[in-house]
A = this chain, B = another copy of it.
């Protein structure tokens, strides 16, 4: 008896986010949609993550219009998005009513499957979104972020899956955003989840390819009972991206598993993306090859480039090795958060500061918030000395409640502020754009009517700087094009200055 293995293709979202700095325009995806729609996928991931931000920041595209276009062109497919729990697609926690509105609108515009995660695996940051998705009648996929630490065991991940099941999730995703998931743990965790949650709970495995080993992990996850796996059509695969869809299908041949994918349609889609890919040459990730250093340093490859840049800007390019050794210590002090946006940037920047200024002499406000519980709870106890320093530095107290419980209702205020902006069309969708990207939305609203900045058209989008930007540098490890932080010392006081691209 052969068992069906379902596939989600990432080519419309995470593949170009990881390999082309999220720059692919809707126009360059349209041609492949009819084939993708009929190729036999379980779902097509096509929205969320950094794509919303990239649409309004770089492409002058309305992300909601992109979603409606996908819905129209792929009527037979489940459309899937990546949602950062209480953060939605923005940089902070939002009040529950904003989370509710977002999920309702995303469902109404076409999303069928919401993959909901939290960087710290704090279930309290996911539960409101799960409830909202269920209320909208859609598929809520609860996510377990995979990481490696002395406190993370198979049971840690299985327990989280059980909690997600209790919240009503329709499926569980094991998300390996940094390609750290090796074959044996992939097998053990998937089997553990299946055993704990029951054979009927679908388990979906997401991996990146950076370490070169994760197609074997998908094989082992399938052997352990995984129902769905994530891959990307081979035009945009490997490196900081994902395992190739075609290889997965071929891998199964002769084994007691099969996909229902149509390789002819996938070949046509591949030819389409092969043709548009050169448009994005200047955004291509430098991580096109295999990098297993991640296993040792625990630092995602894209983060290492960022750190090198940060250090060079500070005239300390020779300190990289020291910083690489500091990161695991900072991560330990912070209770072993998974290193994924935003925790990866927060921990990485603090490690740079520790090396340059002395250990915890300067504490960034974000790191203080992380130490004091404002991002949620972590798997291990935090270092009490560092917690004390964070309290002193930030003049804030530790919290143990759900961070969003501290927020007041904010929809009415956000709505009235958005409506004042020139070009805002008054829709809830526009209010959400403003809520998540208050610095970028005004320019986007006022220029939206000019139409998309496609790189594929004359006079269209071009790289603005000769330097690859932060998002390009960060490659797949960045869910958002992150702000760049500088250390500025005036006399004897040191300030953190955050520069965010407009």
Q: Contact residues of A with B, CB < 8 Å?
A: 182-185, 188, 211-213, 215-216, 219, 234, 237-238, 243-244, 246-248, 250-251, 253-255, 263, 267, 288-293, 295-296
Contacts and interface: CB of A to CB of B under 8 A. Distances in A.
A212 B295 contact: no
This chain: copies in complex:
2
Nearest to A255: B184
Contacts of A248: 213
Contact of A292 (B188, B246, B292): B246
A278 to B, nearest CB: 13
The 7 nearest A-B residue pairs measured at CB: A184-B254, A212-B247, A246-B292, A213-B247, A234-B290, A244-B290, A213-B251
Contacts of A295: 250
A267 B219 CA distance: 27
A266 to B, nearest CB: 9
5 contacts: A184-B255, A212-B243, A215-B215, A234-B292, A238-B290
Contacts of A237: 212, 289-290
A254 B185 CA distance: 8
Residue in A185, A216, A234, A238 with the greatest tally of chain B CB atoms within 10 Å: A216
A193 B445 CA distance: 67
Contacts of A219: 183, 216, 219
Contacts of A263: 296
Contact of A183 (B183, B251, B267): B251
Nearest to A256: B184
A263 B288 CA distance: 21
Given A215-B213, A234-B290, A182 B246 contact: no
Given A216-B251, A250-B211, A251-B216, A289 B238 contact: yes
Given A234-B291, A244-B292, A293-B267, A182 B212 contact: no
A483 to B, nearest CB: 31
B290 A246 contact: yes
A273 to B, nearest CB: 12
A290 B185 CA distance: 26
A263 B294 CA distance: 13
Contacts of A211: 247, 250
Contacts of A213: 215, 247-248, 250-251
Given A182-B251, A254-B185, A212 B246 contact: yes
A292 B233 CA distance: 11
A248 to B, nearest CB: 8
A188 B255 CA distance: 11
Contact of A234 (B184, B253, B289): B289
Given A183-B219, A244-B292, 15 more contacts: A182-B250, A182-B253, A183-B251, A183-B254, A183-B255, A184-B255, A213-B248, A216-B251, A234-B289, A234-B291, A238-B289, A246-B292, A247-B290, A247-B292, A250-B295
A212 B215 contact: yes
A445 B246 CA distance: 49
A185 to B, nearest CB: 6
Contacts of A188: 254
A234 B212 contact: yes
Residue in A211, A244, A290, A295 with the greatest tally of chain B CB atoms within 10 Å: A290
Contacts of A291: 234
A226 to B, nearest CB: 14
Contacts of A246: 212, 290, 292
